[in-house]
Amino acid sequence: MSNNTVNVVILGAGTGGTIVANKLNKKLKKTKKPFQLTVIDPSFKHVYQPGFLFTMFKKDKTHSIVKDGKKLLPKNTNMIEEKVKKVETKDKVVITESGTKVPYDYLVIATGAKLSPEKVDWWDDSLYHYYSPEAADRLSEKIENFREGKIIIAIGEIPYKCPPAPIEGALLLDDYFKKKGIRDKVEIQYCSPLDRAFSIKTVNEVIEPIMNEKGIEVETFFNVDDVDTEEKVLYSLEGSDLDYDLLIMIPPHTGQPFLHESGIAGKSGWVPTDRETLRVQDQENMYALGDTTDIPTSKAGSTAHYEAPIIAENIYKDIIGDTNLTKYDGHVQCFFLTEFGKSLFIDFNFEHPPKPGKPSRFWWWFKLFFKPFYFRAVAKGLV
């Protein structure tokens, strides 16, 4: 540790990186040892991504789901607004695109998932989705002006962020067009790469009957193979072809390319991470959380929320010489919107699959309340 100062560098100022910074800052102050927290992020735009399901229907404004990430971090944080070029793991140095070298004693990788449509040869920029603020805004115009025809929601590739979001999109489209009085003129189809609509069986047992009731057609075992945007035909690897008027395609995701180039991750960019200690495999003093890991659980803000305290605790323990590491149990909680006004609540961990009840108004209101609560308390590490 240089000059006895403990240097903790966090890559990424999204949900995971921000909560780790806030939690760790409090803990490190307790040690009374000198420390420096550095957060490196290309933009410090902190996006509340569950909000896309609202902005795509113009039920919320983009500026209310995108905040200045610097204001959510501890004031004593060294904030570097740059992309990372490489991590020299042997020398424990992060190199930014401008060439700045940032040494670390502990490195936390919270760089999230990157939308990587270029990964597949069939992607066309005319396709719609709602996995970025700009894309959700663009889709909102299309949905507002959609009068009749067939809408398909399909998954580009697994894994993708927030597994419920594509089905939530289909269910909310149903409600939106019902309220507009034109549901009978709009066909909605959902294409799943699996043999069921939703990956977790206990949730699927609740959600697929709801989709059936609402007249949303579920096409299973549909792994996208090609899209003809001129003829408006979507092809699957399994041999199906579907006509559409509006195709909403969840883009393929990868980890950040510099992680592969630094020898930390494989080609896909997902960081091999111990699912309990959250330590990066074969690396010293390196942790990863949230969407960027290869842990077999949901890529979701909630996952990062529950992983962040584990990393803060384990770095703190390491500094004070406590070898009894805290373990992550796979805890994830999320809302699953079924219409404007109703939601399921899902709670699970590695050992216990979710037992969703029925959609309720209570969880809908809780979901609405959660956004201000997220910016005021969750991101700041208060809960």
Q: Is the peptide bond before 159 cis (omega within 30 degrees of 0)?
A: yes
Residue closer to other proteins (CB basis): 238 or 322? 238
Which range, of 39-47, 60-68, 72-80, 234-242, touches other proteins by CB under 8 A? 234-242
By C-beta, is 141 or 241 nearer to other proteins?
A: 241
Are 244 and 142 in contact, with CB atoms under 8 Å apart?
A: no
If binding is defined by CB under 8 A, does position 347 make contact with other proteins? no
Q: Are 208 and 216 in contact (CB under 8 A)?
A: no
Nearer to other proteins, 119 or 183 (CB): 119
Least gap, CB of 109 to other proteins (angstroms): 21
User: Cα–Cα–Cα angle for 145, 147, 153, nearest 5°?
Assistant: 85
Q: Rounded to whole angstroms, what are the CA distances from 272 to 85, 199, 262, 280?
A: 19, 22, 13, 6
Q: Which of 58, 235, 274, 277 binds other proteins (CB under 8 A)?
A: 235
Instruction: Determine the Cα–Cα distance for residues 316 and 119; give it in Å rounded to an integer.
Output: 38
Rule CB under 8 A: say whether 241 interacts with other proteins: yes
Give 81 or 157: the residue with its C-beta nearer to other proteins. Answer: 157
- The smaller minimum CB distance to other proteins, of residues 84 and 295, is found at 295
Closer by beta carbon to other proteins, 239 or else 321 = 239
Distances (CA, A) of 57 to 12, 31, 224: 29, 48, 25
Where in 359-378 is the site for other proteins (CB under 8 A)? none
Three-state SS annotation for 102-160? EECCEEEECCCCEECHHHCCCCCCCCECCCCHHHHHHHHHHHHCCCCEEEEEEECCCCC
Please give the radius of gyration of the chain, using alpha carbons only, rounded to the nearest integer.
21
The tally of CA atoms less than 13 A away on the side-chain side of residue 186 is 26
Among 226, 282, 284, 322, binds other proteins (CB under 8 A): 226
* Helix and strand numbers, DSSP H then E, in the chain: 8, 21
* Count of chain residues binding other proteins (CB under 8 A): 20
Does 237 contact other proteins by CB under 8 A?
A: yes
Between 102 and 265, name the residue whose CB sits nearer to other proteins. Answer: 265
Indicate the length of the chain as a whole number. Answer: 383
CB of 232 vs other proteins, minimal distance in Å: 11
CB of 120 to other proteins, least distance (A): 10
Which residue number, 108 or 154, has a Cβ lying nearer to other proteins? Answer: 154
Window contacting other proteins (CB under 8 A); options: 219-227, 252-260, 333-341, 366-374: 219-227
Return the closest-CA partner of residue 101 out of 2, 236, 241, 215. 2
Q: How many CB atoms lie within 10 A of CB 59?
A: 13
> Is residue 125 at the binding interface for other proteins, with CB under 8 A as the rule?
no
Q: Does 239 bind other proteins (CB under 8 A)?
A: yes
334/352 Cα distance (integer angstroms): 15
Q: Is 266 in the site for other proteins (CB under 8 A)?
A: no
Q: Which is nearer to other proteins, 223 or 343 (CB)?
A: 223
Contacting other proteins within 179-218 (CB under 8 A): 193-195, 199
Region of 8-16, 47-55, 62-70, 226-234 interacting with other proteins (CB under 8 A): 226-234
Return the SS3 of 40.
Answer: strand
The minimum distance between CB 307 and other proteins, in angstroms, equals: 18
Which single residue is written with the structure tokens 């309220």? 179
What minimum distance in Å lies between the beta carbon of 194 and other proteins?
Answer: 5
Distance CA 49, CA 37 (A): 25
Check binding of 238 to other proteins (CB under 8 A). Answer: yes
Dihedral sign from CA coordinates of 364, 165, 43, 2:
positive
Handedness of CA 329, 298, 360, 192 (dihedral sign): negative
Among 66, 95, 158, 368, binds other proteins (CB under 8 A): 158
Binds other proteins (CB under 8 A): choice among 90, 296, 323, 324: 296
Under the rule (CB under 8 A), what is the footprint of other proteins? 157-158, 193-195, 199, 220-221, 223, 225-226, 228, 231, 233, 235, 237-239, 241, 296
